[in-house]
């Protein structure tokens, strides 16, 4: 049985710190499980919104080129089709952005405007969990540096 800490992040993914691994390499270690008011790296709101904007800007540019070609050809049907696609993209962009804003809001509420203190980052502020389990976790961080297993990110 693997031993370690599991943190449930606001984005729905997990941050896992393994202290010891067993031959089965369990996906979730045996040990304390706590919520942590942060996201994993790929789910960071600013990173996500940059990616969403880039993705849809590119799509839009592509559609605009296609519309110009359709207009030059006098192809009304194609033009209408592409216009429909653009409206659909716009709706998807808005929905994706809304999710990021929701995540941003959750983070802000959870943090109360404070910077997140990652467990073990500042020993004096560490108040998580029973002493012995924290010791195990610290050994993991200080020793083997095997952590940050992002589930399905």
Minimum Å gap between C-beta 110 and Zn ion is 14
Residue from 24, 77, 131, 132 in contact with Zn ion (CB under 5 A): 24
| CB nearer to Zn ion: pick between 29 and 119 | 29
Longest dimension (CA), the chain: 74
**Cβ closer to Zn ion: 94 or 148?**
148
Q: Does 11 bind Zn ion (CB under 5 A)?
A: yes
Is 40 a residue that touches Zn ion (CB under 5 A)? yes
Provide the sign of the torsion angle of the four alpha carbons 46, 124, 5, 20, taken in this order. Answer: positive
76 versus 99: smaller Cβ distance to Zn ion? 99
User: Which of 4, 5, 7, 13 forms a contact with Zn ion (CB under 5 A)?
Assistant: 13
Segment holding 18, helix H or strand E: strand 14-20
What are the C-alpha distances in Å from 57 to residues 31, 33, 48, 78? 44, 40, 14, 20
Element (H, E) at 80: helix 76-111
What is the contact surface with Zn ion in residues (CB under 5 A)? 1-2, 11, 13, 22, 24, 26, 40, 43
């Amino acid at each position: 049985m693997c031993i370690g800490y599991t943190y449930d992040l606001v984005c729905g993914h997990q941050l896992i710190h393994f202290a010891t691994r067993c031959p089965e390499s369990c996906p979730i270690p045996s040990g304390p499980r706590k919520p942590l008011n942060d996201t994993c790296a790929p789910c960071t709101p600013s990173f996500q919104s940059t990616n969403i904007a880039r993705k849809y800007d590119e799509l839009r540019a592509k559609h605009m080129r296609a519309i110009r070609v359709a207009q030059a050809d006098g192809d009304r049907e194609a033009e209408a089709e592409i216009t429909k696609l653009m409206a659909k993209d716009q709706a998807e962009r808005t929905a994706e952005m809304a999710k990021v804003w929701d995540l941003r809001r959750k983070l802000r509420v959870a943090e109360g405007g404070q910077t997140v203190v990652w467990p073990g980052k500042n020993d004096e502020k560490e108040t998580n969990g029973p002493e012995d389990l924290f010791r195990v976790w610290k050994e993991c961080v200080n020793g083997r540096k095997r952590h940050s297993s992002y589930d399905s990110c």
